[in-house]
């Protein structure tokens, strides 16, 4: 029986990611990576929404991915799992960068004036090109980590032979609460120094908890009765300080880890209890959510580069057009590229249709 709440968590979270990236593009908190503040406001109060969702929206996607891996492996072999994950995750996030996503690299580097800065430093053009390609990975970092975790899972399954999965199914609520401490501990290790989103240890624990603990129906039945959210406290505290929520020390402190873990559990338990249903709209959104995730940032950043940066439109219009472009590029490019041979495989991991 299909777990519709997992599909609903995916597409709803991706929609939240689109909205988040619009705010992130024009944030006034000094979070690097976008265009930056384009309003005349001394404080942009709506930026607090970034603090509210950032700690938990990617962790919950890793938990869902862990649960989905369990469901896939119940019906497929390890070899089929490796082939499937490599095609859907590794190919688009490596080959796809050279085939298509270098365009995102060009837009992102143009926003930050990187081309002129690198040229002034005398960096050779071939090196600049490689930097542009690397910059095009953008939102694909999620796929990089998820592929690595999937391969580690295959090895771990060979070692533990189902014992951990059986133990995870017996986890009582008090133990689930104590799992917060491994989350906090993992937040301190394997964090890349420059690109802050590659939190290898932090997200790895969420993925493995998804597979070994929350993929068990008996655990979810217990969890449905509880939903704890600390994200409001985190958001008010650190937004008022103007602190960078995406980098150290904020993203390694106990409150951040609590918001990430218990916020994810709130979403997971709430959707399992109230969102385990489907409709024609939810089915459509679920089918298209991957394309929306992969392509939305190109639309947002293109509006920022072409309209907001030169000041051709007022700030509110820039926000609105960026939001619209995120969905138009996300759904539109998915519909186009999914129909083009080779590109559908290289950029979206869609295998060749058999005649």
What was the pLDDT predicted at 176?
Answer: 87
For residues 300-305, give the mean pLDDT. Answer: 96
Task: Pick the range with the lowest mean pLDDT from 134-148, 205-219, 240-254.
Answer: 240-254
Task: Measure CA 157 to chain center.
Answer: 25
What are the DSSP E strand ranges found in the chain? none
For residues 65-74, give the mean pLDDT. Answer: 95
Task: Give long-range contacts, CB 8 A cutoff, 24+ apart: 240-247.
Answer: 242/29, 242/30, 243/29, 244/29, 244/30, 244/31, 245/29, 245/31, 245/50, 245/51, 245/54, 245/55, 246/31, 246/54, 246/196, 246/197, 247/196
Average pLDDT, the chain: 89
How do residues 128-183 score in pLDDT, each as one tens digit?
A: 899 999 888 889 999 999 999 999 999 999 999 889 999 988 888 888 889 999 99
Opening angle at CA 148, ends 142 and 154, nearest 5:
130
How do residues 325-337 score in pLDDT, each as one tens digit?
A: 999 999 999 999 9
- The 3 state secondary structure assigned to 89-114 is HHHHHHHHHHHHHHHHHHHHHHHCCH
> Phi and psi of 122, rounded to 5°?
80, 20
Task: Give long-range contacts, CB 8 A cutoff, 24+ apart: 277-286.
Answer: 277/4, 278/2, 278/4, 278/7, 278/8, 282/4, 282/7, 282/8, 282/11, 283/7, 285/11, 285/15, 286/7, 286/8, 286/10, 286/11
How do residues 7-63 score in pLDDT, each as one tens digit?
A: 999 999 999 999 999 999 999 888 888 898 999 998 899 998 998 898 899 999 999
Q: What is the pTM of this model?
A: 0.91
Burial of 324 (0-12, 13-18, 19+ CB in 10 A): middle
How do residues 74-108 score in pLDDT, each as one tens digit?
A: 999 999 999 999 999 999 999 999 999 999 999 99
Alpha-carbon gap, residue 160 to 168, rounded angstroms: 12
Alpha-carbon gap, residue 188 to 141, rounded angstroms: 19
What was the pLDDT predicted at 229?
Answer: 47
For residues 197-217, give the mean pLDDT. Answer: 93
């Amino acid at each position: 029986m299909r777990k519709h709440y997992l599909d609903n968590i995916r597409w709803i979270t991706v929609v939240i990611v689109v909205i988040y990236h619009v705010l992130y593009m024009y944030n006034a908190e000094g979070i690097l990576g976008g265009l930056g503040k384009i309003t005349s406001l001394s404080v942009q109060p709506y930026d607090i929404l970034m603090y509210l969702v950032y700690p938990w929206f990617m962790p919950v996607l890793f938990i869902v991915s862990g649960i989905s891996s369990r469901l896939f492996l119940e019906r497929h072999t390890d070899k089929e799992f490796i082939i499937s994950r490599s095609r859907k995750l590794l190919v688009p996030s490596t080959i796809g960068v050279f085939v298509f996503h270098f365009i995102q690299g060009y837009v992102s580097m143009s926003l930050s004036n990187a081309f002129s800065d690198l040229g002034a430093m005398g960096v050779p053009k071939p090196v600049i090109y490689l930097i542009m390609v690397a910059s095009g990975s953008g939102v694909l970092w999620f796929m990089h980590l998820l592929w690595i975790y999937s391969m580690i899972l295959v090895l771990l399954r060979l070692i533990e032979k189902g014992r951990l999965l059986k133990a995870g199914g017996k986890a009582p609520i008090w133990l689930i609460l104590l799992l917060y401490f491994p989350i906090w501990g993992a937040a301190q290790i394997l964090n890349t120094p420059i690109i802050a989103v590659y939190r290898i240890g932090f997200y790895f624990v969420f993925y493995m908890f998804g597979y070994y603990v929350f993929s068990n129906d008996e655990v979810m039945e217990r969890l449905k009765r509880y939903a704890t959210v600390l994200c409001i406290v985190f958001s008010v505290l650190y937004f008022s300080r103007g602190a960078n929520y995406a980098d150290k020390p904020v993203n390694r402190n106990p409150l951040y880890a609590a918001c990430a873990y218990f916020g994810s559990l709130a979403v997971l338990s709430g959707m399992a209890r109230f969102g385990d249903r489907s409709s024609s709209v939810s089915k459509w959104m679920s089918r298209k959510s991957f394309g929306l995730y992969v392509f939305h940032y190109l639309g947002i950043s293109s509006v920022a580069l072409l309209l907001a940066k030169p000041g051709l439109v007022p700030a509110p219009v820039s926000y609105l057009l960026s939001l619209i472009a995120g969905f138009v590029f996300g759904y539109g490019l998915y519909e186009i590229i999914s129909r083009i041979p080779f590109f559908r495989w290289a950029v979206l991991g869609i295998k060749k249709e058999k005649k």
